[in-house]
A and B are shown apart, each in its own frame.
Chain A
């Protein structure tokens, strides 16, 4: 009964589909599991929350006051643009029928044929569109993560051009390699929820982008201190929460594997927050709140590829190592090498993602998931495969980002001028202030209404004070 109703809806909605495809649907009678479907849809919404407001607040709090809106806007527009890109061609390139193990073809362009029956390859118990929109949220956050490296200096129009090109030319192919039936998939690389695809790609691309665009004006001489750490903590907590959708949701089914991924995600996160704070406590004498938030995110990143393959005790080790390694990356490595990764996209995502991909090859336990058998369970070959996937992701991210920025740079200016950086990107790129002055409504003094009927600031009756 339910099934027939469903099929009628499906036929109505896909009237444009070719007859053979419908005939196939008649034969195979794909079965939708309601539990799985609700789980995947809720997980997709959780992953959405990671970008907005999670990442936007996390990065926004780390930026300086004059750049908080522009920092938030990078994430906001990753959501806006990549969502549309994904429906138009991104999903087809990533997950569409394979071409030479390298990329999807254009059969599913404009979501043609991506309907309400399950796909016969991906998440076969949920509507194909549920799987598609879950993956959409991954594409969005990956692009948004890069903005942490170039915040406070990349011009908005250049960022938009970069977003679209980067997702199309780098994210979509690599998502295909790992999840869409491409060569890394065939090789047997393990990446449960996106350690290579999401975190290595965004982190390494961020590193290259921050070097190509150059340091912020005043980097190393002026203090560049987070302007609102409570924002950052709020953002980190929302990331932590949303990440359950990211990792457990990647089981694509409401089953034991999802529960396992949920548990190891949580444990690795707590462990990394702990080890980051302890490391800085020893080195600087104080346990910082920013360290706790940063460590948590480092743990989330590191457990991502491993989340469907490792057991709870392994996840604690993965987290403990991630906290210390990422802490050293942002405090020692960055200072030594002298690049200006404004909000540490590379230090946390590039380094944490690389460690996680490697750790998956070490700790994958076949009793958690028979698809993964790591070094410690007698399969040294898995480490080699993981290293190949790490090297391949680093390479395409680095080369691709470099080329894209050089090309975009010939058409659009990438970097805000020194004067624009002094005034802040909020005013110069967006014409807004995040925090208005309490007397005049503007830090630039007395503000005059120039246009429409805007009420003056303050609702109190001045005569009574």
Chain B
């Protein structure tokens, strides 16, 4: 099994979720996060004092899926989340050992 962790623009979350649902993926965890990439962020002004806001709001989406689905899921997410502008986000994948459904005690792929 593989965990796909992606950092997305908050405005793209709904599109990504819809596309994944259509593909048949239902389990996911979403968190509000802040982060920065290569660029410096944006400027905000309060009563004439400028602040550069380096950490920008993003959402983090975590999905654990079967290994054979990973390529397709990554493709779906990339398509739905891309605007072509800077700050579109990143996708990280990594292998995981096990999954357990707490209610039934099922393990492995049966539990996801």
Segment among B8-16, B39-47, B65-73, B84-92 that sits at the interface with chain A? B39-47
CB–CB A294/B47 < 8 A = yes
Cα(A434)–Cα(B20), bound, Å:
37
Contact A226 B48 (CB under 8 A): no
**B104 at the A interface (CB under 8 A):** no
Q: Say yes or no for A286: interface residue by CB 8 A criterion.
A: yes
Any chain B CB within 8 A of the CB of A344? yes
Tell me the total A-B contact number using a CB cutoff of 8 A: 29
Q: What is the total number of residues of chain A having a CB less than 8 Å from a CB of chain B?
A: 17
Closest to A223 in B: B51
Query: Of all chain A residues, which has the CB nearest B47?
Result: A330
Closest chain-B Cβ to A297's Cβ sits at a distance in Å of 11
Q: Which residues of A contact B47 (CB under 8 A)?
A: 290-291, 294, 327, 330-331, 344
Contact A226 B45 (CB under 8 A): no
CA–CA, A290 to B44, complex, Å?
A: 12
Query: Closest chain A residue to B49 by CB distance?
Result: A331
Cβ 8 A contact of A290, one of B46, B51, B53: B46
Q: How close is A151's CB to chain B, nearest CB, in angstroms?
A: 14
- What per-residue 1/0 map shows which CB atoms of A410-450 lie under 8 Å from chain B? 00000000000000000000000000000000000000000
A384 within 8 A of B: no
Kindly state whether residue A367 has any CB partner on chain B within 8 Å.
no
A4 on the interface (CB 8 Å rule)?
Answer: no
Q: Determine if B97 is an interface residue (Cβ-Cβ < 8 Å).
A: no
When C-beta atoms are compared, the residue in chain A nearest to B54 turns out to be A223
Residues of B within 8 A of A290 (CB): 46-47
Give the shortest distance, in Å, between B28 (CB) and chain A (any CB): 16
A residues 271-287 near B (Cβ < 8 Å) are: 280, 283-284, 286
A17 at interface (Cβ–Cβ under 8 A)? no
> How many Å from the CB of B103 to the closest CB on chain A?
11
* Complex Cα spacing A284 to B46, Å: 10
A143→B49 CA distance, assembly (Å): 27
Within A329-373, which residues are at the interface with B (CB < 8 Å)?
Answer: 330-332, 335, 344
Chain B residue at minimum C-beta to C-beta distance from A286: B45
Q: List 11 A-B contacts (CB under 8 A).
A: A223-B51, A223-B53, A284-B48, A286-B45, A291-B47, A327-B48, A331-B47, A331-B48, A331-B49, A335-B49, A344-B47
B residues with a Cβ closer than 8 A to A are 44-51, 53
| Chain A interface residues (CB < 8 Å from chain B) | 223, 225-226, 280, 283-284, 286, 288, 290-291, 294, 327, 330-332, 335, 344
